[in-house]
Amino acid sequence: MRLAHWLIVAVVLTLAYSGIVILMAHPRLYWGWSGNDLTRPLIELPLGRNYHHGGWAAASPFFGDPRGPVSQVRTYDIFNQNGWARSLHFLLAWLLVSALAVFAVASLATGHLRRDLLPRGEELAPKALWRDVREHLALRITPAKGGPPYGVLQKLAYLGVIFAALPVMVLTGMSMSPTIAAAWPWLPALFGGTQSARTIHFLFLCLIALFLAAHLLMVALSGIGRQLRAMTWGR
């Protein structure tokens, strides 16, 4: 369990780095099946020099009709490190899938999922949930001995990341692969199109980044020495 935890940490951080490099080549997000520099984006991100560029040459109609599809040539040099970044990203994605599979199987085999991660009925009562929310907002964090038992918000966060957010990241990432999309067109269609999958992929990256920031804060507030010993040597 501990090895899978640290492997997932390393892989997710490297995926985030290579993913941002890929995004910097085209920092615009769309909804649907298609999107490019000449279409209106859903979200435009201020990343790198490709965000504010020098402009475009005159538009050239594809079929002689200016009201139809057009092509334009950039008048600036774009930032593009897609070659190594995409290769690294796709390679590590399979390592993430493997680590998640190991974690899921180990959680089931050792009883970790049932014993430590699944909230009990009384923990999900509105009063209990609201009490845990108030304690966290006030940063009243009880010093932990390291590892379980977890609070109800902690359990819900772990379950959400491990069994929802990361699997969605994997599926949306696969949806952006032209080969996979051609073989299994139902996969990108599940997310509303290839560009929709790309947008969802980025939004879930933001959620995981927020989780990571909160996770590190909780580790620090609940006793960083004890927590790190528990997550490494198991003591």
Average pLDDT, the chain: 86
CB burial of 35-53 (b: ≥16 within 10 Å; e: otherwise) equals beeeeebeeebebbebeee
| Percent of the chain surpassing pLDDT 90 | 33
6 phi and psi, to 5 degrees? -75, -30
- Model confidence at 205: pLDDT above 90: yes
- The pLDDT score that the predictor gives to residue 54 is 64
| Residues 6+ away with beta carbon under 8 Å from 12 | 96, 166, 208, 212
C-alpha dihedral (56, 60, 66, 67), degrees to nearest 10: -70
Query: What confidence tens digit (pLDDT) does each residue in 84-96 have?
Result: 999 999 899 989 8
- Evaluate if residue 113 carries a pLDDT over 90: no
User: pTM for the complete prediction?
Assistant: 0.84
pLDDT in tens, 157-168: 989 988 899 899
pLDDT of 140 > 90? The answer is no
Residue 115 predicted with pLDDT over 70:
yes
DSSP letter assigned to residue 161: I
- At 149, is the pLDDT very low, low, confident or very high (cuts 50, 70, 90)? confident
Tell me: pLDDT of 33 over 80.
yes
Which is more confidently placed, 11 or 121?
A: 11
Domains and CATH numbers, the chain: 2-232 (1.20.950.20)
Kindly report each contact of residues 160-165 with a partner whose C-beta sits within 8 Å and lies 24 or more positions away, as own/partner.
Answer: 160/211, 161/208, 161/211, 162/100, 162/103, 162/104, 163/104, 165/204, 165/207, 165/208, 165/211
Res. 36 pLDDT band, cuts 50 70 90: confident
Residue 67: pLDDT over 90? no
